[in-house]
Amino acid sequence: MKTIDDLKGMKLRTPSAYMTKALKLLDVNPVGMPIPKLAMSLQKKVIDGCITPFSAVTDFRLFDLVESITEANLYTTPMTVLMNKQKYNALPDYAKKAIDLASGKPWGFHAADVYDQHDTNTVLEINKRGKITIYKLPASEKAKMAERLAVMQSDWIDEWSKRGIPADRIMSAVSRASNRYK
């Protein structure tokens, strides 16, 4: 994909309901499937491609199944580890202390750094092997994509505002954080 128009009619594996909506707005035929089925689906031509981080090439052994990758920075997925508060409170103090020491914002940033490094290492391996071409979607195409997908943001704000959630403030905070941590 060198332009968003290249996506038209393609069958792409989608990772979530929101990405399914986004792909439809980009004239793509989204195919929902668990990521472990990715390699077989590419091999059997069930899908034309997928939306994943670079690390999926390593994690799911796609080096021989992918010819090109377009870096589009289309989405992000928040990752969290949650625990039921009652279960946490029922733990012995030494277990609570161990969890507290291995959690929180600093550990979140550490985990993000590890994940980002895995992506970087995968790109280095892709370049080393020389079989997969990586394209960077031009800013003009990213702008077209953002314009087509803008309705998703306004729809999300409308939907959650009706439920009494300060969605416009949340979206504004997310946008500020996104710009700060790009």
The per-residue pLDDT for range 80-89, each reduced to its tens digit, is 888 999 999 9
144 assigned to some structural domain: no
Range of the domain at 157: 150-182
**What is the model's pLDDT at position 81?**
83
pLDDT band at 100 (very low <50, low <70, confident <90, very high): very high
In the chain, the amino acid numbered 102 is: A
Query: 53 and 120 in contact (C-beta within 8 Å)?
Result: no
CATH of the domain at 72: 3.40.190.170
CA separation (Å) from 139 to 72, 151, 176?
A: 9, 19, 20
For residues 126 and 154, membership in a common domain is answered with no
Helix and strand tally (H, E) in the chain?
8, 5
List, for residues 42-87, the tens digit of each pLDDT value.
999 999 999 999 999 999 999 999 999 999 988 877 778 889 999 9
> Per 3-state DSSP, what percentage of the chain is helix, strand, and coil (rounded to 5)?
55, 10, 35
For residues 28 and 108, membership in a common domain is answered with yes
**What is the model's pLDDT at position 182?**
66
Higher-confidence position of 75 and 153: 153
**What is the model's pLDDT at position 179?**
83
**What is the model's pLDDT at position 113?**
93
**What is the model's pLDDT at position 63?**
96
For residues 31 and 88, membership in a common domain is answered with yes
- Which pTM does this prediction carry? 0.82
**What is the model's pLDDT at position 76?**
77
Q: What is the total count of domains within the chain?
A: 2
For residues 158 and 72, membership in a common domain is answered with no
